[in-house]
Amino acid sequence: MVGAYRLGIAALAPFVRIHLDRRAARGREDPERLPERLGRPGRPRPTGPLVWIHASSVGESLSVLPLIARLRRGYPMLAVLVTTGTVTSARLMAERLPEGVIHQYAPVDLPQAVTRFLDYWQPALGLIVESELWPNLLLGARQRGIPLALINARLSARSERRWRRLRPMVARLLGLFSLVLAQSPEDQIRLRGLGAADARCLGNLKAAAQPLLADEGELARLRAAVGTRPCWLAASTHPGEETIVGQAHAALADSHPDVLTLLAPRHPQRGPEIAATLRAAGQRVALRSAAEPLTRDTGIYLADTIGEMGLWYRLSDIVFMGGSLIPKGGQNPLEPAKLDCALLYGPHTANFAGIAEGLCTAGAATRVSDAASLAAAVVRLLDAEDARARAAAAGRSFAAAQAGVLDVIVSALAPLLDRAAEGSADPGKHEAAK
């Protein structure tokens, strides 16, 4: 299976640049940095041993920031390279990475691109985040004796069913890792079932993230614009959920005519499309990306920008987490919990199953199922300040209790990090990769 994949992907090589150019034209790739996607470096390599951390997109890349900070303190002799695959994550990394940490776009999984990338950067250790199992990239690393660890590994039930059809290939790829750390017990069981016999669960690395940042001047300006209006936030919504949020807003207006709904879609580039849909339904919408002002007449303020979620979580203490009213698995509820928000989410929270259930049990979160129950839950929290404060306090306490996961994960990685710091490679699975 692996051989067939490698032959098939190699045959696509002549068309990859055309595909990347088309994605760049749609804003899905950075045209100035397309060579990086073909394995050509955009930065000089520092001297000495280098740890490579690969994260797919925004959530994964943000989750490794605390780990990077710890590596910089505990292993100052190690250079750090971070690769991601999306334009949005690259912009965030440009803002958030510590000075001296290098960001590059991940190479596409073509043999030539992978070879260029690995030959140039020569990592002493690769840390792969969540579920980025690219065969050429992983096999190329292990052929060079580069030890690999799969950290904060995640595998949904849906992905497991799909991957079982490719179990021999998946088992071989999972076998290339010296260490597999699952983010939940459910992920651990699924990964073991697919071939990662030694997978362990030490906790979710996202619990160690610091509260999201916000521009204090902009926060003060927006608070002044909101004034005393009742306000709530629908965060990280997916297609289909914005219509539900609009319906909930209309229902809320019956009892709270001056209510303000903040709406931050998971993919900000969808902002104009969402605004058009909501306006067609009769909503008064202001679009942040178009610099439309938030006024007393604004019913829904569409926060379609990148890197400002910390602003919106601070502006409202009632938050509905998106991706949960439709079967997307939900988004990270710990981010608003750390910023004193009472939480709401739908039934689909498989991506954070243990955390979501723990927040509900702690009294920090309430599940909803549709526009009517969402509106009713928001009204209850708007009208009951004590209940809102109790939920926020419970969420903050729950999130604080999870934060020790970073120490445990770094301890598990210590043998690999120590070897990397010495500049040595782990040949243990070199032959298996050939």
Same domain assignment for residues 297 and 172: no
Same domain assignment for residues 326 and 196: no
Question: Ranked by mean pLDDT, which of 120-129, 160-169, 395-404, 417-426 comes out on top?
Answer: 120-129
pLDDT in tens, 331-373: 999 999 999 999 999 999 988 988 999 999 999 999 999 999 9
> Mean pLDDT, to the nearest integer, of 396-404?
92
Report the alpha-carbon distance of residue 82 to residue 80 in Å, rounded.
7
Tokens encoding 113: 């691109």
CA dihedral of 127, 131, 136, 139, whole degrees rounded to 10: 50
Same domain assignment for residues 66 and 156: yes
Tokens encoding 149: 């660890």
In a domain, 431, yes or no: no
Same domain assignment for residues 68 and 113: yes
Map tokens 């129950």 to a residue. Answer: 373
Tokens encoding 65: 């920031």
Q: Which of 23, 9, 83 is nearest to 52 (CA)?
A: 83
Same domain assignment for residues 143 and 99: yes
CB 420 within 8 Å of CB 124: yes
Same domain assignment for residues 94 and 232: no
In a domain, 415, yes or no: yes
Same domain assignment for residues 222 and 255: yes
- What does the DSSP 8-state code read for residue 365? E
Tokens encoding 252: 């809320």
- Count Cβ atoms within 10 A of the Cβ of residue 277 and give its class: 0-12 exposed, 13-18 middle, 19 or more buried: middle
CATH code where residue 256 lies:
3.40.50.2000
In angstroms and rounded to an integer, the radius of gyration of the C-alpha atoms of the chain is 23
399 Cα distance to chain centroid: 17
Structure confidence at residue 433 (pLDDT): 37
In a domain, 22, yes or no: no
In a domain, 296, yes or no: yes
pLDDT in tens, 197-208: 999 999 999 999
DSSP 219-246: HHHHHHHHTT--EEEEEEE-TTHHHHHH
Averaged confidence pLDDT in the chain? 93
Amino acid letter, residue 383:
D
Same domain assignment for residues 68 and 169: yes
Q: Between the CA of residue 406 and those of 144, 206, 409, 411, what are the distances in Å?
A: 29, 9, 5, 9
In a domain, 433, yes or no: no
Same domain assignment for residues 185 and 54: yes
Structure confidence at residue 431 (pLDDT): 37
pTM of the model: 0.84
Which ranges in 325-404 belong to alpha helices (H)? 334-337, 353-361, 371-383, 385-402
Report the alpha-carbon distance of residue 338 to residue 232 in Å, rounded.
16
In a domain, 1, yes or no: no
Active-site residues, by number, are 60
Tokens encoding 153: 């590994």
345 Cα distance to chain centroid: 17
In a domain, 428, yes or no: no
Report the alpha-carbon distance of residue 176 to residue 433 in Å, rounded.
7
Same domain assignment for residues 388 and 297: yes
The total of structural domains in the chain comes to: 2
Tokens encoding 391: 């939920």
Range of the domain at 413: 30-208+404-421
In a domain, 51, yes or no: yes
Structure confidence at residue 427 (pLDDT): 39
CA dihedral of 87, 318, 355, 245, whole degrees rounded to 10: -60
Same domain assignment for residues 260 and 387: yes
pLDDT in tens, 70-108: 999 999 999 999 999 999 899 989 999 999 999 999 999
Same domain assignment for residues 359 and 390: yes
> Residue 434's pLDDT band (boundaries 50, 70, 90)?
very low
